[in-house]
Amino acid sequence: MMEKIESIKECGGNLNRYVHNSIFCKTKMTFSVYLPPKAQVEKVPALYWLSGLTCTDDNARIKAGAQRYASELGIALIFPDTSPRGDYVPDFKERYDLGQGAGFYVNATQSPWAENYQMYSYITEELPKLIEDNLPILINKKSISGHSMGGHGALICALKNPKMFASVSAFAPICNPTNSPWGKSCFKTYLGEDESKWLQYDATWLIKNGCKVHNILIDQGLSDEFYEKEQLLPENFREACHEKNQSLNLRFQEGYDHSYHFISSFIGEHLSYHAKYLKK
């Protein structure tokens, strides 16, 4: 069961926050849902937004400015948390890129992380069923997007489940985590020493191994410090897509950084992109 703990009127609809006891993550999880005005009279499609390192469900719902577009398009927005949380959930307090706030959307296999860090199954199985069973959300009408670590999550969830998501997009995603300092460190911690087991959560390798979706939209800022530090590696992803005939619209945006200023500048275009697929 899910409990509503907050409701805010916004752009004609309602921005609600819920908590529930997660079966996969074995702790209480928080998520937010924006229901557009159309949801008051009929079920609507949904866009899942996966946030990046250090974020909760609160970051995107406050900073992205997506609700105005979702209201006009008649699309619900789902904002999950980025990891399990709680006093008894393993954490690495000395680092922002590991532990709570940094689930990387994988199913951890290593102790002590495996007990709670099952974010891939949480996003692709548990949360959609919970939402579709309890809210005016259409079944089999969902798309996915995200930012940074969440962009990585959106890409792998869509590529591994092409029939589940109608469309996928991302802002500054970690495209090739097995070659990224962030990804190498977290994958080793969550998934163990065997690097072959990391590949199932690497979008570039999923493309190379034959995973395919209709189309992918990615925006990448050229003044992004993490792009410059080679944490994101979109060129590697572009090369894999070219080799495998995967349709990709990779747009490099001059002067934009890694922040929500960047996301809010292009979020309307992403919502319109997803609406085309969700309303087919």
Domain range annotation of the chain: 2-279
By CB atoms closer than 10 A (0-12, 13-18, 19+), residue 9 is exposed
Whole-angstrom Cα distance, residue 44 to residue 77? 10
Task: Look up tokens 């990224």; give the residue.
Answer: 180
280: confidence class by pLDDT, cuts 50, 70, 90: confident
Whole-angstrom Cα distance, residue 264 to residue 63? 7
Enumerate the active-site residues: 148, 224, 258
User: Buried (b) or exposed (e) across 52-61, using 16+ Cβ within 10 A?
Assistant: bbebbbebbb
Model's pTM, two decimal places?
A: 0.98
Give me the helices (H) in 86-193, please: 119-121, 127-134, 149-160, 181-191
Whole-angstrom Cα distance, residue 170 to residue 89? 28
pLDDT in tens, 147-197: 999 999 999 999 999 999 999 999 999 999 999 999 999 999 999 999 999
Contact status, residue 191 vs residue 110, Cβ threshold 8 Å: yes
Please name the residues in contact with 154: beta carbons below 8 A apart, sequence gap of 6 or more. 48, 50, 144, 145, 146, 168, 169, 170, 173
Whole-angstrom Cα distance, residue 201 to residue 176? 9
Whole-angstrom Cα distance, residue 190 to residue 153? 15
pLDDT in tens, 17-57: 999 999 999 999 999 999 999 999 999 999 999 999 999 99
Task: Look up tokens 């860090």; give the residue.
Answer: 117
Contact status, residue 150 vs residue 55, Cβ threshold 8 Å: yes
The DSSP code for 147 is B
The residues with which 111 forms a beta bridge, in sequence order, are: none
Contact status, residue 121 vs residue 107, Cβ threshold 8 Å: yes
Predicted local confidence at residue 199, as pLDDT:
98
Contact status, residue 78 vs residue 176, Cβ threshold 8 Å: no
Average pLDDT score, the chain: 98
Contact status, residue 262 vs residue 172, Cβ threshold 8 Å: yes
Predicted local confidence at residue 78, as pLDDT:
98
Residue from 167, 187, 150, 176 nearest 235 by CA: 176
Whole-angstrom Cα distance, residue 74 to residue 44? 7
pLDDT in tens, 78-99: 999 999 999 999 999 999 999 9
Whole-angstrom Cα distance, residue 149 to residue 54? 10
**CATH architecture of the region 2-279:** 3-Layer(aba) Sandwich (3.40)
